[in-house]
Structure 1
Amino acid sequence: MSEAAVDISTSSANEIAPGIPDPYSLPLDKIDVSQGELFRQDAHWKYFERLRKEDPVHFCAESENGPYWSVTKYRDIMHVDTHHQIFSSEGSITIRDQLEDFVLPMFIAMDPPKHDEQRKVVSPIVAPDNLAKMEGLIRERAGKILDGLPHNEEFNWVDRVSIELTTQMLATLFDFPFEDRRKLTRWSDVATADLNSGLVESEEARQAELLECAEYFIGLWNERVNSEPGSDLISMLAHGESTRNMDKMEYLGNLILLIVGGNDTTRNSISGGVLALNQNPGEYKKLLENPELIPNMVSEIIRWQTPLAHMRRTALEDTELGGKQIKKGDKVIMWYVSGNRDGEVIDRPDEFIIDRPRARQHMSFGYGIHRCVGNRLAEMQLRIIWEEILKRFKKVEVVGEPRRILSSFVKGYETLPVKVHPL
C-alpha cells in the first residue's frame, strides 16, 4: 500500500478520489486546500505538489473559511514562522476564525510580551530534568498497555494504544483524576472537530461541552490555588505571576491548547508510525534489524505524519512573500504538511526513510517563538512506545484501511485496524 494509493474505482477520470477532482484539472485560482475532505481521503498530496510547483504563495479568494493565502514551501514557511513582528498569532492559530461571542485566548495565539510570559509559566514541566523523571512512568504505562493487547486478533490501535498512552500522560501532567482521563480525549476532539464530522452536532453543542471542561478545571484550579505550588500544569497556571489572574475563557483557551498539544499530536504520530512502517515493509525490516534507529525514526515519523497540518498567522502590515503582495489583515496559512514534502530542502521527501540523515529538519513542531513547547516529551513518548513494541512483537500488522479525521488542521486517525504478532 503506497502513500499515494487511492481507490478510484468509483471515481471519474478526472477525480483522484470519490468526489475529489484532480487538482491539475482545476484552474489554479480555484484550488482550496482547506477542505477537510481532502485530508479525510488522503487526497491532499497532489494539491500541495501543484501549489509548490506553480504557485508556492497562493491566494484562495473563496472558501468556507474566507479568503486566505497558502504558504507551501519550506523556506517561505520558515520566513513567516520566524517573523512574528509581521505575521501575528493574535486571535487564532487555525484557518477557522474564532466566533466573536466565544473567544478563547491562549498563549500560542498571542504575540510578545504576553505570549512569552505565559509560555514561561508552563515550560518547566517539560524541562530536561522533569522529562528524565517521567521516563520510567511512561515506560511502565506503555508496557502495561501493550501487555493488555489481544494477540493475533483485530483491534483499533488508535483507541487501545495511541489514545490510551497519551491520555494517561496528559492526566499526569495536569494531575487530573485518572478515572476521568477520557474526558480529556473528548474535549480535545470537540475543540478541533469539523462540524461535518459527526462528532459535534452544532457550534452551540461544541461550546456547551467546552464550558463543561472549563467548570471541571475550575474545580481543580480552586483546589490547587489554595495549596502549596505543585509541579503539575494546573498548579503552575494557578500560581504563575502572568497566569493566576486569567479569566475563565483565557484559562479554558490555555487548557485547550495544552490538551490538544499534548494529545492530538503524539497520538496521531503513534498511529501514523505504525501505518508508515506497514506501507514501507523494507523500513520495518530495517527497524527490526537495527532497533538503535528508533530515535531517528521518531523524527521521520513526525515529519511523515505532520500531525498538525497547518498554523495560521495574520499580516500586521503590507508585505511581500514569494513575489506576492500580502495586505495588512490578510489570513496567512503555513502548510507544514506541504513544507515537510518540499524537495528543495528535504531529500526524497515522499519516501519514508527511518535512517534519514538530518531527520529532525522537519517543520512539524514549528519554528521561532511558537515552536512546540512539548516537542521533547512527544519524541520521548514515541521513542519509548517503539522500544517497548520491539520487546514484545515481531509485527504490528495493519489489516485494513485507516479511517482518517475530517480536518485540515488535525491530521490524524479515528481508526487503524491492526493485529499484533508476539515474538
Structure 2
Amino acid sequence: LATLLDFPWEERRKLTRWSDVSTALPKSGVVESAEQRRAEMDECAAYFGKLWNERVNAPPRNDLLSMMAHSDATRHMDSDNLMGNLILLIVGGNDTTRNTMSGSVLALNEHPDQYQKLRDNPALIDSMVPEVIRWQTPLAHMRRTALVDTEIGDKKIKKGDRVVMWYVSGNRDEEGIEKPDEFIIDRARPRTHLSFGYGIHRCMGITSEFAAACRSTIWESSQR
C-alpha cells in the first residue's frame, strides 16, 4: 500500500493502524473510546489531505494518489469521498488480505490432507488461494440501504430498510458450490465464490492481481 500510494516509507505503519482503527469499536483492544477513534481518523484525514494537496500541485506521477489527484474523474472529489475511497483501499489492502493469510494457515492446519496435497504439488497454490478466500470469507457481510420498495423472493423490503448481505452464506450455497462446507484446494472451479461481492460494488481486488500475488508469494516461499 505504501508503494501503491507513494506513502512516506518510514511512516508506512500508520496505514495498518488507520485500517484497524477505522473498523474498530470502543474497548475492542484497538481503541478505548469513540473519541479516540475519531481523533485518529481525523489525523488520517489531515495526513492524506496534505499528501493530496502536494500531488495536486505537482506534476503527475505513477502512484495511485497522484493519478487520482490529476484524473478528471476523481480530482474534484470532496474530502468525504476522498477519505471514503482511501479507507476502502487501506482496509482492503490490509485487513482482508491479512485475514486471508491467517485463514489459510488455519484451513491447512485443520485439513492436513489438503496440506499434504499442497506439499506434494505446490502448483495447487493457484487454486488454493481462491478456495481460502471462499472458505474463510475475509469480509463476512456488507450492509446496504434500500432506495426503493422492492421484493426479493417472498420478502418485502421497504425504501430505507437496511439489508445485510452475508457473503459467507453465499459462499456456502449448496446450489452453486459442490460440497460448500468442505475445504478443497483442487476444486474444478475455485473462483466460483462471492467474497468480492457482485455488480457495481464488486471489490476492485477481483480485477487486481496485487493482493492475490501477496498471498501466493507467502505460500510459494513457505514451500521452498
Counterpart of 1:266 in structure 2 is: 97
Cα distance in 2 for residues equivalent to 1:308 and 1:178? 28
User: What is the SS of the residue equivalent to 1:332?
Assistant: strand
CA distance in 1: counterparts of 2:165 and 2:152, whole angstroms: 12
Shift of 1:249: 2.5
Letter in 2 for 1:329: G
Q: How many angstroms does 1:374 deviate by? A: 2.1
Match of 1:225 among 35, 56, 61: 56
CA positional deviation for 1:377 = 2.0
- 1:360: which partner in 2? 191
**Alignment partner, residue 212 of structure 2:** 379
2:167 is the counterpart of 1:332? no
Tell whether 2:180 aligns with 1:349. Answer: yes
Deviations 1:189-224 (A, max 9, x none): 000112241311222221110110111112222221
Q: How many angstroms apart in 2 are the aligned matches of 1:380 and 1:335? A: 26
Moved more, 241-250 or 189-198: 241-250
Q: Deviations over 1:52-103 (max 9, x none)?
A: xxxxxxxxxxxxxxxxxxxxxxxxxxxxxxxxxxxxxxxxxxxxxxxxxxxx
Secondary structure in 1 matching 2:204: coil
Out of 70, 73, 82, the position equivalent to 1:242 is 73
User: Is the 8 Å Cα contact of residues 100 and 136 (structure 2) preserved in structure 1?
Assistant: yes
With a CA cutoff of 8 Å and minimum separation of 6, indicate the structure with the bigger relative contact order.
1
Q: Taking every aligned residue pair, what percent have the same amino acid on both sides?
A: 67
User: Alpha-carbon deviations, 1:40-62, whole Å to 9, x = none?
Assistant: xxxxxxxxxxxxxxxxxxxxxxx
Aligned-residue RMSD, C-alpha: 1.3
State the match for 1:419 in structure 2. Answer: none
Secondary structure of the structure 2 residue equivalent to 1:374: helix
Corresponding residue SS for 2:191: helix
* Aligned match for 1:275, one of 106, 110, 113: 106
SS in 2 for 1:312: strand
Deviations for 1:113-135, whole angstroms, at most 9, x for unmatched residues? xxxxxxxxxxxxxxxxxxxxxxx
Give the TM-score normalised by the residue count of structure 1: 0.51
> What's the counterpart of residue 139 of structure 2?
308
CA separation in 1, counterparts of 2:154 and 2:80? 39
- Contact persistence 2:148–2:158 (CA under 8 A): yes
Tell me which stretches of 4 or more aligned residues in structure 1 moved more than 3 Å: none
C-alpha separation in 2, matches of 1:221 and 1:313: 29
| Aligned counterpart, 1:192 | 23
How far apart are 1:331 and its partner, in Å? 0.6
Q: Which residue of 2 aligns with 1:399?
A: none
2:124 to 293, 298, 309: 293
1:388 aligned to 191, 196, 221, which one?
221
CA contact (8 A) 2:27 2:33 kept: no
- Gap runs ≥5 in structure 1: 1-169, 392-423
In the alignment, which residue of structure 2 is the partner of 1:317? 148
Deviation at 1:270, TM superposition (A): 0.9
Cα distance in 1 between the residues matched to 2:79 and 2:153: 41
Asked if 1:204 corresponds to 2:35, the answer is yes
Shift of 1:248: 2.4
Q: 1:254, 1:385 → 2: CA distance?
A: 27
What's the CA shift for 1:293?
0.6
